[in-house]
Homo-oligomer: A and B are copies of this chain.
Amino acid sequence: MANSSKKIKEIGEDLLIKRITKGLPLGEDVVAGAGDDCAVITNNDSQSYLLLKIDCVIEGIHYMKLTPPSAVGYKALSRAISDIAAMGGTPKHAMISLSLRPECNVSYVNSLYHGLLKASSPYNISIVGGETASCGKNGTPSVTVSLTGEVRKDHCCFRSQGKSENALFVTGKLGKSLNGHHLRFTPRIEEAQWLTKKFKPTAMMDLSDGLASDLPRLAKSSNCGYSIETKTIPRTRGASIKEALCDGEDYELLFAISSKNCKNLETAWLKKFPSLALTRIGKLSPKGTANPDLKGGWKHF
């Protein structure tokens, strides 16, 4: 392949994932593979889909050596829960792979598990397996979570079914997550389930890499463009527009919905979730149109 001699930092995560997952053989039971927030598996005997997610956090990248281990555990699992939310699902079973230095204290691991339990308990997630491996004395510790979920087939929400002229909404406020939100956020499980049940968004995802990276992904998945008013974007106190667009780690929901449902949605939302902002930021547009062209967002490499 022409680009094989390039470094992965030169081609970026999206293109890398696209290249390596293109042509992977998928069984007939795979409704969605790589490219959505979760993989979606069907089972003819069941009215629900099985959702599958894997995600890791790495010391020095997603958390620091001095981050309290309970916060590391909470974040590691909550990120995966947020992806289950993005499909409208219910998280079910988690497995945890810890890669740690041999010098690590047992108390660190205990605290990390306290954080995992803090994240799992509101949803009655069962932590059904764990393994620990040594990353070596000078290695880089990490926590990888695999999480299953389930969702009623008629409530499952993909990234790919958005239509031009659908309204775009985001929950909460964006930007400056590194001030603390990235360690303490609440995955939007309840909100997403309510949305998929009552208003059937045509496309939905969670915002992990920043609206500027994630909105183009949703639009592309739906074969659309997008048109947003960047000054309407809901911002965390003190965040600039650029920070709201590009900081990442918001873990809020971005979704598209038929524009004729907007008023009803806004009224019902205010009643159901009075303390969580819901903001209409623009709309999906025909493929090839994008105004403004967003730059930035979190780059993995």
Binding site for B on A (CB under 8 A): 1, 3-9, 11, 13, 16-17, 19-21, 24-27, 29-30, 33-34, 38-39, 41, 43, 45-46, 50, 52-56, 58, 60-62, 92-93, 95-97, 99-100, 102-107, 109-110, 113, 117, 120-121, 124, 126-136, 139-140, 142, 144, 146, 148, 300-301
Residues of B within 8 A of A26 (CB): 126-128
Q: Are A110 and B52 in contact (CB under 8 A)?
A: no
Residues of B within 8 A of A34 (CB): 127-130
Contact of A46 among B19, B46, B96 (CB under 8 A): B46
Considering the complex, give the chain B residue whose CB is closest to the CB of A10: B106
Q: Are A52 and B95 in contact (CB under 8 A)?
A: yes
Q: Are A128 and B6 in contact (CB under 8 A)?
A: no
Determine the main DSSP class of A at the interface with B.
mixed
Residues of B within 8 A of A106 (CB): 1, 3-8, 11, 16, 19
Known: A24-B117, A128-B41, A130-B34. A139 touches B103 (CB 8 A): no
Q: Are A20 and B110 in contact (CB under 8 A)?
A: yes
Q: Are B132 and A13 in contact (CB under 8 A)?
A: yes
Cβ contacts A to B, 13 pairs, < 8 Å: A1-B106, A1-B107, A4-B110, A20-B113, A24-B117, A25-B121, A26-B126, A27-B124, A41-B148, A54-B131, A61-B136, A133-B300, A142-B142
Q: A4-B105, A58-B136 are in contact. List 20 more A-B contacts (CB 8 A).
A: A5-B107, A7-B104, A8-B105, A19-B110, A25-B121, A39-B93, A39-B95, A41-B92, A41-B93, A46-B46, A50-B148, A52-B146, A54-B97, A55-B97, A56-B99, A56-B131, A58-B133, A62-B133, A99-B142, A133-B300
A238 to chain B, nearest CB (A): 28
Residues of B within 8 A of A130 (CB): 17, 20-21, 34, 54
A90 to chain B, nearest CB (A): 11
A9 to chain B, nearest CB (A): 4
Q: Are B8 and A102 in contact (CB under 8 A)?
A: yes
Q: How many Å lie between the Cα of A71 and that of B109 in the bound state?
A: 31
